[in-house]
Amino acid sequence: MKKIIFNSGRILSVMLVAAAAFLFSTQMMAQNKEGEVKVVAHRGYWKTDGSFQNTITALKKSAEIQAYACELDVNMTSDGVIVVCHGPKVGDVEDVQKVTYARMLDVKFKNGDGVPTLEEFLKAAKKGWKVEGKGTVKPRLVLEVKTHPADKRVEVVSKVVALVRKYRMADRTDFIAFNYDICKELRKQMPEVPVQYLLGDKSPEEIYKDGIMGIDYEYSTLLANHEWIEQAHSLGMVVNVWTVDAPEKIETMIQLGVDYITTNEPVLTQELVAKYRK
């Protein structure tokens, strides 16, 4: 009897994961049904006056220009606080993962902002900002979990997932990571949130088997393996590309049919997407 109960629970678990994957695939196809490329502001909209990468100001400015999403990077400090910054070096801190959060409070950027915690970032994104003529704009997030030592990966993912759940941001968040184990852990802990793999060393078919429903590969990788775009789409997966700033490269990716373009030039990219829409 115990064996039957265990197998039934296992079957139910598999069914729930499959259902989540199907729901994600359906949502992504609905979002891109018109074939329009979505513009992701890399580290927020920071190449503008008064802004800086991975700050709440950059998040706000990405909302003001109505980028589809704001990409951000998260690291865990040595005392377990999830902070928003690229790292490992931040300001005069050599490695954000090796210092305490109290040390990170000393870092100030040229626009006056400090390093936000993920909790502060999510709280701001949840509330959104009023934009003239557009009402309240609540930005979507593309959240990159930076690579951490093997013994810290479950902890950092658990803390990120707990915060996304706390602020009920699952429906406005995508996860991305270079480390494949982190991708799988994100998928395991929060299967309702899309995960995109960044490294570019696996085909869509390979990562699809692990329930990861998106690729987010560097420009040259997708250019050299452009057949992966169609392969991913045939599997119901999404295709993101990073970090594309030059106009001719942006246009190439639009023509190849990617779903998202991650860029440091979100306004320019929006203009080029609008040109192709016409």
Overall pTM > 0.85? yes
Instruction: Report the 10 Å Cβ neighbour count for 254.
Output: 20
pLDDT band at 35, cuts 50/70/90?
low
Using the Cα atoms of residue 79, residue 80, residue 84 and residue 89 in order, give the sign of their dihedral: positive
Collapsing DSSP states into helix, strand and coil, what is residue 146?
coil
CATH of domain 38-277: 3.20.20.190
The Cα 267–Cα 92 span in angstroms is 31
Which stretches of the chain are assigned E, i.e. beta strand?
Answer: 38-41, 69-76, 82-84, 129-131, 135-137, 140-145, 173-177, 195-197, 214-218, 238-242, 260-263
Q: Give the whole-angstrom CA distance, residue 31 versus residue 39.
A: 13
What does residue 137 show for φ and ψ, rounded to 5 degrees?
-100, 125
pLDDT in tens, 96-121: 999 999 999 999 999 999 999 999 99
Q: Is the pLDDT of residue 10 over 80?
A: no
Looking at per-residue pLDDT, the higher value among 3 and 19 belongs to 19
| Helix, strand, or coil (residue 21) | helix
